[in-house]
Structure 1
């Protein structure tokens, strides 16, 4: 299966904008954003700027991910490229679940491999549905205008402002914070198993936490994208090294060990690992809104999810062929050479540390959006000074979530079980159920009946996966 074949498959399954439509909604959105008030005092001219090929210049647009501030202290969005957005999505969906994928094949056989590709298609589709909910069509011009900025604003359109913000905000924050905690837990475990010293496990977790403290200084998505690129590089190195090792063992591959049947008792474990390795929907509204060329968003979603599905399937399959029924829940435990195992573990630690900034930054932005946009909009003043830099007290506050994740990573017993129980709800709701639900409510009149049926089936499947994960 080639990468170009993956892209053609995705394009047949998922609808795409025409070139004319891409330019239209980009231009219309630019007009709409340029007419907003600057600093709440003066209106900008209602003139259409030069936006060739759907490219958008920087503009004042309120507090959002991917923003820095102007010299007046007003948050200003700093555009990111299509590649920057792609690195961030890849960071989210090529996460630390990689090392558990062969274990999913142990319990699910060829069905796990199928669901690795199927989940890539469905999560890509629901991600596009979610972003489509950000736009309304102008009844006069027929152009798409971006009228919503965040996941919460979409929920408010469907459920109303009273409870929607609290429900979605809470689910997002739990998912993001628990992801950060998981990265610290994994770093501590990997360092403890790699370097044999008298250091207790908690000490390694604290040491790893020092490397993510500089995240408090992150003020725009551009910097986060660079760290996500580094995470992708570490991910590629891990893939190349382990897959290369698997190819050297080709003569001993255990083809007959891969099951064709589904075990009712074991398959839920496999399904949970597969489903929760594709959650990126929390970041999508912001990434799409921050892109300098939003017309490239769908193509970015296609190639990131196609690549993720293909490489996850390849990695899981080849690793299981090597170790068969002896496959561990973390594949590095199967490596017999301590030096080789240590090399892979170090890169896994680097990957986890470089993965931490994205969910942390998103969690901080949720807090700032809710509490620190400035009075009287929110209870507290903005975290940014008029010169565009963070206040000293804001740096202190931004450090608190990092300390909070460290404390939970160290002191909560059986955190993995707790994460599975809560994550099975937040993950399926945010990635499967709510995008389809919101799209049905907002776009009901313009959605064909067969898409409505398909969306309902996705919602039922997501709810079932969430229920299975809690069993």
Structure 2
């Protein structure tokens, strides 16, 4: 991610963590409630606690050596060059999947407002989803060329407020619906809920940038509480409004039937797409020969190619919730649960108590089982 200031205050760190955690993940939580029932919302608390704990594990890994600053650094300290490579590839894969999801949700939402839009060009037919996917990419492309961007959390909060407004003030209203618990769809809603807390990729950078690192645990706790509140509000209000009519790839459409909410989602996409794509582009730019690596034209070419590739993938696999579940089950479980525990045991294993080692091993095993089951189910569906 983009390098943070050298001396980051407590407030800046808090805003940065909230900004990383809040995003399009909350838009699929009402669908997760539909799939799993009301009791499935307890997983938001469980995953929040576990994710906060593994973030603290990453912090302890960073404290073990003054030369560690990023997640790949931790991977290398734990498992050598191979560990750095595996962690980096997994991080980039998750970031790329998130960029694809931004394109999908933007096209889904805007095509709801103009569902009959279509174009015939030279024998090629483009429907509304394809047209607005292309328009969305054209909008975000100039932001990708910039070196520094800051995403905003306000847009995510506005989405929740729009939902509450629709249900409480407009004539849509809230409706009783749903089941208590549906274990048959466990892999799908587990993947969706876990994706919401997928912020570990930049947590080490935020910690390393803090002026007072000792306050980092408090930053994590406050950030996770705030984001849990926002996510739960979106899940409950969204499902009460739309009920069982919510569809996996069209849920965001229903939320954004309001023009205000559509604009909000567009803002989320514009503000976070480039921020998400930048680490991948930077990694590829490092592979370019040194005589070209500093060329701004080469940088634009790489970033443009990456952006267009996400458009191609988004138009080929437009299953928003299932893609979210797949990324949540596989990549997020690796980055959020399995890697932190494995690296912590490898780096500090000799200094840990049996209880600490047992907790880490248990969390890692559960995360591995969820990743396997959720990935299989998402691919099948």
Q: Does 1:309 align with 2:228?
A: yes
Partner of 1:210 in structure 2? 138
Equivalent position to 1:380, from 273, 276, 290 = 290
Asked if structure 1 preserves the Cα contact closer than 8 Å seen for 2:345 and 2:357, the reply is yes
Partner of 2:122 in structure 1? none
Bigger Cα Rg? 1
Asked if structure 2 preserves the Cα contact closer than 8 Å seen for 1:288 and 1:297, the reply is yes
TM-score scaled to structure 2, two decimals? 0.85
Any idea what SS the aligned residue of 2:37 has? Answer: helix
**Superposition map of 1:340-419 within 5 A:** 341-368=258-285, 370-371=286-287, 379-381=289-291, 383-384=293-294, 391-411=296-316
CA distance in 1, matches of 2:321, 2:63: 38
Q: Does 1:106 align with 2:11?
A: no
Q: Following TM superposition, by how much is the alpha carbon of 1:112 offset from its aligned partner in structure 2, in angstroms? A: 1.7
Q: Does 1:290 align with 2:290?
A: no
Q: Following TM superposition, by how much is the alpha carbon of 1:318 offset from its aligned partner in structure 2, in angstroms? A: 3.0
Q: Following TM superposition, by how much is the alpha carbon of 1:434 offset from its aligned partner in structure 2, in angstroms? A: 0.8
Partner of 1:190 in structure 2? 109
Asked if structure 2 preserves the Cα contact closer than 8 Å seen for 1:112 and 1:274, the reply is no
Equivalent position to 2:3, from 59, 66, 85 = 66
Q: Following TM superposition, by how much is the alpha carbon of 1:154 offset from its aligned partner in structure 2, in angstroms? A: 1.5
CA distance in 2, matches of 1:412, 1:270: 19
Call closer, same or farther: CA 1:459–1:93 in 2, change over 3 Å.
same
Where do 5+ consecutive residues of structure 1 fail to align? 1-63, 68-76, 137-144, 373-378, 385-389
Alpha-carbon deviations, 1:424-447, whole Å to 9, x = none?
Answer: 221111111110111111112322
Asked if structure 1 preserves the Cα contact closer than 8 Å seen for 2:75 and 2:343, the reply is yes
Q: Following TM superposition, by how much is the alpha carbon of 1:345 offset from its aligned partner in structure 2, in angstroms? A: 2.0
CA distance in 1, matches of 2:254, 2:97: 27
Any idea what SS the aligned residue of 2:305 has? Answer: helix
Any idea what SS the aligned residue of 2:184 has? Answer: coil
Alpha-carbon deviations, 1:383-425, whole Å to 9, x = none?
Answer: 44xxxxx633333333332222223323457687566546522
Partner of 1:299 in structure 2? 218
Aligned length: 366
Instruction: Identify, as 1 or 2, the structure richer in helix.
Output: 2
Equivalent position to 1:149, from 39, 63, 69 = 69
Any idea what SS the aligned residue of 2:191 has? Answer: helix
Partner of 1:244 in structure 2? 165
Q: Does 1:224 align with 2:152?
A: no
Partner of 1:29 in structure 2? none
Asked if structure 2 preserves the Cα contact closer than 8 Å seen for 1:283 and 1:362, the reply is no
Q: Following TM superposition, by how much is the alpha carbon of 1:126 offset from its aligned partner in structure 2, in angstroms? A: 0.8
Where do 5+ consecutive residues of structure 2 fail to align? 120-126
CA distance in 2, matches of 1:391, 1:334: 41
Call closer, same or farther: CA 1:116–1:297 in 2, change over 3 Å.
same
Q: Following TM superposition, by how much is the alpha carbon of 1:224 offset from its aligned partner in structure 2, in angstroms? A: 2.7
